[in-house]
Structure 1
Amino acid sequence: MLPMLARRLFHLQELALGRPSFRILADLLESERWPRERIRQLQLERLRDIVRQAYEQTPYWREIMDRQGFAPADIRSLNDLGRFPLLEKNTLRERREDMVWRGEGKRVQLVRTSGSTNEALQFYTSSTREAHINAARMRGHEWVGVRRGEKELYYWGSPVELSKQDRVKRARDWLINDGLTNGFEVTPERLKKNFADWLAWRPKCIFGYPSTFVLTVTMARSLGLDLRELRKGGLEVIITTSEMLSAVDRKLIAEGFGVPVRDSYGLREAGLIGHECDQGTMHCMDEQILLETIDPQTLAPTDGEGELVVTNLVGPAFPVIRYRTGDIVTLSKEPCACGRNLSSIHISGGRAVEFVVTREGKWVVGYSFIYIARSVEGIVKFQVVQENIGEICIRLVVDDRFPADGGEQVRKKAAQRLGGDDEIRVEIVDDIAPAPSGKYRPVISKVAEELFAKRAF
């Protein structure tokens, strides 16, 4: 599809869903070059609006403000955000129904997020909130030279079976120049076919998980495939998301594809937080969020590295105020050569996933198990452990919503995802402890670690 026509069709789709994404995008492209003081004034205006709406429309936030002894009119500066207590994941989970404003606008609906720890978070979103997220993402892509309507390939999850609805979605994606390649299951034969498809489709951008890109580059080299050939068809950038992108992995991916790698960072429950520009600075979406850092032990504010705390300024259907993310970051207001006056963020500790390897030789990314865990009620945490080829153990921490046949549901879904005849055990455990480093590992596979070290694909 011609890029301008694809862009127009996407615009019409957004309007049909009640999402003025392109109007918001135009505003963002202007405000990113405002003086810092003007951006802070916008943040204050939006903070006051979200606090007022939260007080008037949601029992939880009214209770909080009454208990703390202040009213929306008392928010006179950004420093007054500190009047609110920190919002914990457990509180969001337990008081969710008291936090929603169901009459906010179009398409107020319950969605689920898990991240790599699958802490079973469900929250409400709306057309208003999704329009701001879509606009922020489009702006981030424009920073690295990709306008909506140009060919973008999403290299991540893909349905196991092609249903009628999937076919409708694929037809729609074709019309708006969105491509999809299954990044959940990578084998040498599939990679050969994917590479041929990519050469034919000629994407300008490929978007996906760092771990999948690292595996793809390493496997391609072992197969004699030169991914740099994609540049001849117009590939200009790789955009990563959802996992930690180390300097080593960034270099490997960039060398493998022959194009720059730009990272993005967000939380489903909090919104898009940052996106790298063409100078490699991860700018924050200052018009949409307020960011703080705290010491994760003492909870005191920090000036340097600390745990990220997020306030969403544009999601009135489900106000998220001073939400603890668990991710370790450093915030900065240092100017960037790109000329944008947005603050920036450096992710120094957060999420990572690994692979398991099936008896048939498929490398299955850990995010595929996250989607399995999302589909069964009552799963609070999960972890997949693989000691031997052809065998995996799925450990689950569950609550009272977990159905009697939940373990069997998980086992069947995992078997469907893996294919073949791998042995799958499901264990219900009291808790899943983090690694000695303090980082939670959703997938631990000695098999994958050994095979990757040997480049044995």
Structure 2
Amino acid sequence: MLSKSIFILAHQIGDRNFYPTYKKLVQNQRKSYEELKEEQEKQLRVMINFAYNNVPYYHNLFDDLKLNSDDIKKIRDLKKLPILTKEIIKQNWEDFKPINLNKMKYYEGATGGSTGTPLKYRLLKFDRFLAGALLYRGWGYAGFELGDKMAFLAGASLDVGTKSYLEKRAHEVARNIRKISSFDMGEKEMKQYVGMINSFKPKFLRGYASSIYFFAEWIEENKIDIYQPIAVFTTAEKLYPNMREKIGKVFNCDVYDAYGLNDGGLGAYECSEHSGLHIDTERSIMEVVDKDGNQIKEGEGEILATSLYNYAMPFIRYDTGDLGYIINDVCGCGRGHRLLKELVGRSVDVLVTPEGKNVHGWFFLFIFWEYCKGIKEYQVVQEKLDKIVIKIVPEEDFDKKQLDKIKEIVKGRSEGWNIEFKFVDKIERTKAGKYKFIINNVSESPWL
């Protein structure tokens, strides 16, 4: 009980509406899809009206299309609007600033995602805490309760404007969590991770799907005893069937997949039925569209996001760069959400250092979150064990000074890596029109 009280207090200090919002969301999960959709469309009308009256880009867009805010009342009406891309946002950056932005409390974030196209964005303070409340509700599908112990195997700090050790430790204690890095996965580090998990005894383990899979393989190969959590949560990339099977076997528990996107406000979580990921409705609208931008009720398509509360930077029909398979069915658990059967793609290669460490490709994503000024696209290629080539498509405002900092951070991960930057006009795509932003040409990725 004490850990739950401390957990709630830590969040209430950040936003006093957190716990009441969380309790309401937990109640919402038993509503029918029709009820959820009605509430979703009510907030959509509020957001559209706000965007038209306060955000120059949308005001001009609606006028050019001879539309007014009353023309977008239902989810189906969104097809009247064009798809919003990262490129459009970057080209119209100033016009995406609401006229009353100085009165808002917001955070600044950045994303590179699996598209390799970096983008900075703003996130309203309330929207960020709403995201946290939805995340905890999603974990609740597996039995999580506020304050439960959890270990994270994911991205680590880049030591850029980071908190002190005491601040980070206080954060872990208040939330009853421990963090271990997927960017340092050598023999020495993984032995330490096992020790931490066995002593901390977390109820849940969460991290990048490929990181946890690799960790599980290493544990099995070395015949190591590991504490068994109630469940494992995977995120950030595609969870393949063989990965789910291996993780579940090694940790002797169920594995729950999830999908999230902060810039567009999307979230979807798997329940114990494992019949798909329940798509949140309270923070955003997820559309799955065909190649012509038409909404589909079942099948594979591109995922678009419309944020419902991010007034600091509204995203309307935002192209996430992800592909998903949506199904027109109801889960046997009784929750009314639409289901995302699976996320298509979103897998990331892992790089190997000359020192023998495995470094998850999202390490570079974290770098380009911070140093993305004037970078249209990028691609990281490991050509040799000791050679990393970073291809960059620069824009007019590209700042070359960033390269020294990028090289410093990469060398901090491995002194043996030699870094070469190449400026190119474009990044080569695959036959499907996509491109991988992390490529390991040295050896097969150990994650798949």
Taking structure 1 as the reference length, the TM-score comes to 0.91
Amino acid of the residue matched to residue 157 of structure 2?
P
For 1:198, the equivalent position in structure 2 comes to: 197
Structure 1 112/306 Cα, relative in aligned 2: closer, same or farther at 3 Å?
same
1:355-389 per-position Cα deviation (integer Å, ceiling 9, x unaligned): 11111111111011111222222233222222322
Secondary structure of the corresponding residue to residue 246 of structure 2: helix
After TM superposition, the structure 1 = structure 2 runs for residues 52-201 of structure 1, keeping only pairs within 5 Å, are 52-101=49-98, 102-103=100-101, 106-159=104-157, 165-201=164-200
After TM superposition, the structure 1 = structure 2 runs for residues 48-447 of structure 1, keeping only pairs within 5 Å, are 48-101=45-98, 102-103=100-101, 106-159=104-157, 165-226=164-225, 229-231=226-228, 235-280=229-274, 281-296=276-291, 298-303=292-297, 304-376=299-371, 377-418=373-414, 420-436=415-431, 438-447=433-442
Secondary structure of the corresponding residue to residue 387 of structure 1: strand
1:154-173 per-position Cα deviation (integer Å, ceiling 9, x unaligned): 11122366976243122221
Secondary structure of the corresponding residue to residue 129 of structure 2: helix
The Cα shift of 1:394 comes to 1.9
Taking structure 2 as the reference length, the TM-score comes to 0.92
Amino acid of the residue matched to residue 428 of structure 2?
A
Amino acid of the residue matched to residue 142 of structure 1?
G
The Cα shift of 1:76 comes to 3.8
The Cα shift of 1:26 comes to 1.4
Q: 1:80, 1:89 → 2: CA distance?
A: 22
Q: 2:108, 2:445 → 1: CA distance?
A: 41
Q: 1:165, 1:116 → 2: CA distance?
A: 30
Secondary structure of the corresponding residue to residue 199 of structure 1: helix
Comparing 389-398 and 56-65, the one that deviates more = 389-398
The Cα shift of 1:119 comes to 0.9
- Are 1:31 and 2:28 an aligned pair? yes
Secondary structure of the corresponding residue to residue 386 of structure 1: strand
Secondary structure of the corresponding residue to residue 146 of structure 1: coil
8 A Cα contact 2:307 2:315, kept in partner: yes
The Cα shift of 1:133 comes to 0.6
Q: 2:124, 2:23 → 1: CA distance?
A: 20
Comparing 31-40 and 98-107, the one that deviates more = 98-107
8 A Cα contact 1:282 1:345, kept in partner: yes
Q: 2:445, 2:42 → 1: CA distance?
A: 54
Structure 1 132/208 Cα, relative in aligned 2: closer, same or farther at 3 Å?
same
Q: 1:203, 1:106 → 2: CA distance?
A: 37
Between the two proteins, the alignment pairs up a number of residues equal to 443
Structure 1 83/370 Cα, relative in aligned 2: closer, same or farther at 3 Å?
same
Q: 1:204, 1:71 → 2: CA distance?
A: 50
Structure 1 27/221 Cα, relative in aligned 2: closer, same or farther at 3 Å?
same
Amino acid of the residue matched to residue 427 of structure 2?
I
The Cα shift of 1:452 comes to 7.6
Secondary structure of the corresponding residue to residue 396 of structure 1: strand
The Cα shift of 1:440 comes to 2.4
Q: 2:16, 2:345 → 1: CA distance?
A: 31
Secondary structure of the corresponding residue to residue 425 of structure 1: strand
Comparing 261-270 and 63-72, the one that deviates more = 63-72
Amino acid of the residue matched to residue 328 of structure 1?
L
8 A Cα contact 2:325 2:344, kept in partner: no
Q: 1:174, 1:448 → 2: CA distance?
A: 39
8 A Cα contact 2:32 2:337, kept in partner: no
The root-mean-square deviation of aligned C-alpha atoms, in Å, is: 2.2
1:16-39 per-position Cα deviation (integer Å, ceiling 9, x unaligned): 323622222211112221222222
Amino acid of the residue matched to residue 218 of structure 2?
M
Q: 1:443, 1:143 → 2: CA distance?
A: 32
Percent identity, aligned pairs only, is 28
1:398-428 per-position Cα deviation (integer Å, ceiling 9, x unaligned): 222322333333222211122x332222222
Find runs of 4+ consecutive structure 1 residues off by over 6 angstroms. 450-453
Q: 1:111, 1:81 → 2: CA distance?
A: 26
Secondary structure of the corresponding residue to residue 239 of structure 1: strand
